[in-house]
Structure 1
Amino acid sequence: MSKLKGSFLPEGFFIRDWSVWTGGVLLALLALGVFVWHDMWGITAGFRNWGDWFFYGVGLYPERPEKVWLHPGSITNAGLLAGAVAAAFLSGRIRLRRSSWYGYVKSLTGGTLMGIGAALAAGCNVGGFYNATAMFSLGGYAMLPGLILGGYLGVRFLRWELYNIATRLRAQCPCKTEGKSDNAPEQVSSLGVLAGWCFVFFLAGLFLYYLFQGHAREAGLLLLGALIGITLQRSRLCFAQAFREPFINGDYAMVKVIAFSLVIYGLGAGLLKLALIQPESAGVQHPFWLGSFSGGVIFGFGMLQAGTCATGTLWRAGEGHVRVMLSMLAFAVFSSLGFFLVQKFEPAGFLGEAFFLPELMGWPLSFLFFLAVPLLWLALAAWNAKTGRMAVFGSPRDG
């Protein structure tokens, strides 16, 4: 099979990975695009819609869920997945990546915990933290420390697991996971390029179909979701790394990117609300403080077991990771079940209420408070990188 060096593609556009900083900036701009076009971007709502259909099908839910092809969250998730698949084909990164039985168990466990955490916090690392903080929803500010604590506990567990479980499993079955590393040199085949462009044309056709059917909102969400999927797959941007690497060896490169992306997103969203382009209450739905914090802890711990975040389950599944596909399924099922149980049994106000920050302190102080959050996160990560106090496996300076 012939190999391509980029002659059919813009130089470096798919062959070489994009800078993660490029990914962070584009993610913020595309999230703002979703906000302007429809409402706050999210991942969990789409997963929950898929899980709702499963439980409706088995007779547990009495009400028929919204159709998948008309549900905003499902459409953006599907667009993200399809965009990631197209980019993976065109970059030569798509292949079936299998794991051990223990890896599959960890993925299912991680996906389950992420679903439960998202139900408690009314959102995942995207909807409950990244979006919520940018929307000036006070719950997002409570989820961040929860995610940090969950990430720390997750790394501590991984260390215990390494010395107590992984070594024994390796001794019993000294086999290797099939497939090349994510960082292996790319070999793009002509067949892969053809498949990638088939996905691009399929997305374009679906976009036009929505338009011809009078569903302009859905067409725009599909396009924006696909662009987010391409951006994440090409830049390798992953929220899980921001809550994992600082506690592994002190590296906080991804923290810088996510924090910078959050600043762009939050300033843009705040200005859109101030200009009344979107309602001030848009995206303010997160329970402060117990629901957001406890959900963040559970979600952060689950991310470490699954090895990826909510967005990562989509774009990494698009590359062929079987483990991630299982995490995605567990996430969908348990986020749906978790939301169902929270709505049915939670005492009023137990997990907390949604608060809009400017209603509490006004817009000027809210902007200052918002900017302080990523700065404090960066300061904590930089202190940890320098001292290694919270780095479970040592800090970069030790090397």
Structure 2
Amino acid sequence: MSWQAFKQAYLIRFWSPVPAVIAAGVLSAIFFGLTGGLWAVTGEFTRWGGHLAQLFGAHPENWTYFQIIGLKGTPLDRAGGMMLIGMFGGALAAALWANNVSIRLPQHKRRIAQAVIGGALAGFGARLAMGCNLAAFFTGIPQFSLHAWIFALATAVGTYLGAKLTLLPMFRVPLKLTKGGAKRNIAQDKQKASNRFRLGMVIFGLMAIWGVVTLLDSPKLGIALLFGMGFGLLIERAQICFTSAFRDMWITGRTQMAIAIVLGMAVSALATFSYIELGLTQKVMWAGPNVVIGGVLFGIGIVLAGGCETGWMYRAMEGQVHFWWVGLGTILGALGLAAMWDSVATPLATSWPKVNLLESLGPWGGLGMTFALLGLSLLAILWWEKRFFARQRQEN
């Protein structure tokens, strides 16, 4: 294959979501195997909120929540911080390769409020439930934590409610029609795309060098940066967004991304199981009311905002200003939960058990239960798709 053919097929065109999501699941498991860490983002975004609060004179490092998750150093000193930097950089490079970067402002001020409020609900709910779309679906479920299954079900309910909410007239913004502008200069467009592709290659190359150099001095930080780049490439090129997976399923009946996510979790669970059998310890969280409440809030929030953690990250790198506001809302919402953690921790979370399916059911029983639930999830998605289009045909 020539360079031009490879460039067009793999660096410019969007990737198929099914193999991309499966690849993300594999990378997530390998990252766990190499470092013992997790592919998760809202915990680190909460720390970024803590640093923001420090800039305004607050002392969040004394809060109980930050004493649990830590707030020392900077994002450059933490694997989570380096992973996020890698994800942003990888997504930006991928968007530049495809000439998919341009500043796009929200159509209406109402959209900004919607972005911040939705992001805040998502950030608050994710931290309350100790999971987000990544920390639950791509780490919690493959880590065999019962709380992740409760979160997944609660999120499904929340996204359904959020989809119904956003269809209300108050959330509909009139479209502004504009006349076609001046004739496009095709030569200039091609030159601009070529320049952006080169810039994307420069960014990708510099970050890869940074990752390798860091790897030699601090292996875990270097691995986090390099894997973050890989995750960023995947989410942007395949447009991986859990919000669209749920929202599309509820509103349009399209289930391709939802099916891809289930398959990705299955592959990740199998790979993660092998690492656990080799002696690595998985992360299991409390299975209490916090997961139900947090999951529903998270589901409503991501639909209201228009993007989940992965969705808003790559769209922000594409220049969609709406998602810069979603990111700010997410950080503020997570910080809000950290501030009120002491009042909700005992009744909603820490007094409830941490249920490890591999311990409760035995290694093979836990693995079998996980795959049985994944199979049921897949059947439920296919049933919904069939039911949705059957109703559409009846109405037409």
The corresponding residue for 1:23 is 20
The corresponding residue for 1:202 is 206
Residue identity in the other structure for 1:207:
G
Residue identity in the other structure for 1:312:
G
**Does the C-alpha gap of structure 1 residues 93 and 292 become closer, same or farther in structure 2, counting only changes over 3 Å?**
same
CA distance in 2 between partners of 1:216 and 1:347 (Å): 34
1:67 and 2:74 are equivalent in the alignment: yes
**Does the C-alpha gap of structure 1 residues 106 and 6 become closer, same or farther in structure 2, counting only changes over 3 Å?**
farther
**Does the C-alpha gap of structure 1 residues 382 and 157 become closer, same or farther in structure 2, counting only changes over 3 Å?**
same
1:223 and 2:226 are equivalent in the alignment: yes
**Does the C-alpha gap of structure 1 residues 174 and 78 become closer, same or farther in structure 2, counting only changes over 3 Å?**
same
1:338 and 2:346 are equivalent in the alignment: no
Residue identity in the other structure for 2:236:
Q
CA distance in 1 between partners of 2:247 and 2:392 (Å): 13
**Does the C-alpha gap of structure 1 residues 201 and 73 become closer, same or farther in structure 2, counting only changes over 3 Å?**
same
**Does the C-alpha gap of structure 1 residues 396 and 32 become closer, same or farther in structure 2, counting only changes over 3 Å?**
farther
Q: How many residues align?
A: 372
The corresponding residue for 2:46 is 48
The CA deviation at 1:347 is: 4.8
Residue identity in the other structure for 1:255:
A
The corresponding residue for 1:84 is 91
* Aligned with 1:98 (options 98, 105, 129): 105
1:37 and 2:31 are equivalent in the alignment: no
CA distance in 2 between partners of 1:322 and 1:295 (Å): 26
C-alpha contact (below 8 Å) 1:77/1:314 kept by paired residues: no
Q: 2:167 aligns to what SS in structure 1?
A: helix
1:265 and 2:268 are equivalent in the alignment: yes
CA distance in 1 between partners of 2:5 and 2:365 (Å): 51
1:388 and 2:388 are equivalent in the alignment: yes
CA distance in 1 between partners of 2:239 and 2:394 (Å): 25
The CA deviation at 1:6 is: 7.1
CA distance in 2 between partners of 1:293 and 1:52 (Å): 25
CA distance in 2 between partners of 1:62 and 1:305 (Å): 28
User: Residues 43-100 of structure 1, C-alpha deviation per residue, up to 9 Å, x if partnerless?
Assistant: 1122112111011222322525332101111111110110000010011111111112
After superposition, residues 298-317 of structure 1 pair within 5 angstroms as 298-317=297-316
After superposition, residues 134-283 of structure 1 pair within 5 angstroms as 134-160=142-168, 163-166=169-172, 169-170=173-174, 174=176, 189-211=193-215, 214-276=217-279, 278-279=280-281, 282-283=282-283
C-alpha contact (below 8 Å) 1:249/1:396 kept by paired residues: no
The CA deviation at 1:231 is: 1.1
CA distance in 2 between partners of 1:201 and 1:150 (Å): 40
| % identity of equivalent residues | 23
The corresponding residue for 1:182 is none
CA distance in 2 between partners of 1:49 and 1:165 (Å): 32
The CA deviation at 1:208 is: 3.7
The CA deviation at 1:10 is: 3.2
CA distance in 2 between partners of 1:367 and 1:211 (Å): 33
The corresponding residue for 2:353 is 353
Residue identity in the other structure for 2:166:
L
In terms of fraction of residues, the more helix-rich structure is 2
User: Residues 185-239 of structure 1, C-alpha deviation per residue, up to 9 Å, x if partnerless?
Assistant: x967121012111211220232244245x21211111000001110111111211
Q: CA RMSD in A?
A: 2.4
TM-score, normalised to structure 1's length?
A: 0.87
CA distance in 2 between partners of 1:204 and 1:133 (Å): 30
**Does the C-alpha gap of structure 1 residues 396 and 206 become closer, same or farther in structure 2, counting only changes over 3 Å?**
farther
The CA deviation at 1:310 is: 0.8
* Contiguous gaps of at least 5 residues in structure 2: 62-70, 181-188
Residue identity in the other structure for 2:162:
G
The CA deviation at 1:157 is: 0.5
